Structure 1
């Protein structure tokens, strides 16, 4: 029987520092446990130590159409995942690590608080007031890796944004160009539901 590999102290210390930073950014124990090689009980106990309270109960975000529900959601998700992919490309690694998630999300929060300020982003540099939190960001990474989300380059503004694969087609609409302003001054974007209905119409032969 082969002996179990023993992690050195520096590796354990690095994992704990990354776990602490993930929790400070709002990550819940299941994500911390997966990325920082901690057990479920260790992650929960560490969360209580860092945050001073018990973690939120219930399932992690899993709405696969969140990205295409509003233009604002799409812009924030596209910004974050673009940064993540750029970091992966620079490091030549396809895998997600705690360090990469922390770095990408910190850059996203910094940029979003400066150039994407919105009513929902009241306090700069605070992930709690932006449409995209780190838990949903972690879920969107899995959608991108599985091919459910794809990057599309807009032919008009040349922005790189996210499209979603539907059973019959790709939901591809630029969140910057393909919007309109209603009489009340609100910027509108076609909803995922209405777009899906259009995509799922039977094809004429």
Structure 2
């Protein structure tokens, strides 16, 4: 076996191991294909082997406005993409590899597992899962790279949070400070309408 063949075998093996880890975290075949440079057929076959079942049908989470659906969504997206940006800055890179994506997502999941009081409360009151889905996390990276998302800093709590680029200011408020709780216990973004309801 030549050196070139050995290197190719090692590279393929590394891709398969990375793909397996992605699937174990819940990544669907299209995400695995893009991150690991595998064919769709290879990704589906590997998914079935790792998970023991066929992959979920339907589209991936392509909701461009997901981060402004709720303050909780924004908190989770901001934490994850903040980790991604810090990792890119630390490594002086412009594009995240599959391995680096896994490191960032595992770190995010670890932070969620620690049950920070404010994050636990936000997740419980909204009824959302405390963990950002890995497929949506991958899509958020693409949104950020395309310039659709931008980071902002809150002057009050100093938090770094995400806003939609070229949107009205109500879509880029701090998800920690600019929220209020309605009668059902759900956290809502502050707006002129919500302020009126809160003060009524």
Identify the TM-score tier after normalising by the shorter chain: 0.7 to 0.9
Partner of 1:54: 54
Distance 1:188 1:137, change over 3 A: same
Structure 1 residue 39 displacement after superposition = 0.7
Distance in 2 between the 1:169 and 1:188 partners?
Answer: 15
Unaligned runs of 5+ residues in structure 1 are: 123-127, 196-205
Q: State whether residues 113 and 121 of structure 1, in contact with CA within 8 Å, keep that contact through their aligned partners in structure 2.
A: no
Partner of 1:119: 124
* Paired residue secondary structure (1:56): coil
Q: Which structure: greater helix fraction? A: 2
Distance in 2 between the 1:89 and 1:172 partners?
Answer: 24
Unaligned runs of 5+ residues in structure 2 are: 195-200
- State yes or no: 1:29 paired with 2:29: yes
Partner of 2:78: 78
Distance 1:183 1:169, change over 3 A: closer
Structure 1 residue 58 displacement after superposition = 1.1
Deviations 1:66-109 (A, max 9, x none): 00110000000000000011111111111121111101100001
Structure 1 residue 64 displacement after superposition = 0.3
Partner of 2:91: 91
The CA RMSD measured in Å over matched residues stands at 2.6
Distance in 2 between the 1:140 and 1:163 partners?
Answer: 12
Q: So what's the TM-score if we normalise by structure 1?
A: 0.81
| Count, aligned residues | 184
Q: State whether residues 180 and 188 of structure 2, in contact with CA within 8 Å, keep that contact through their aligned partners in structure 1.
A: yes
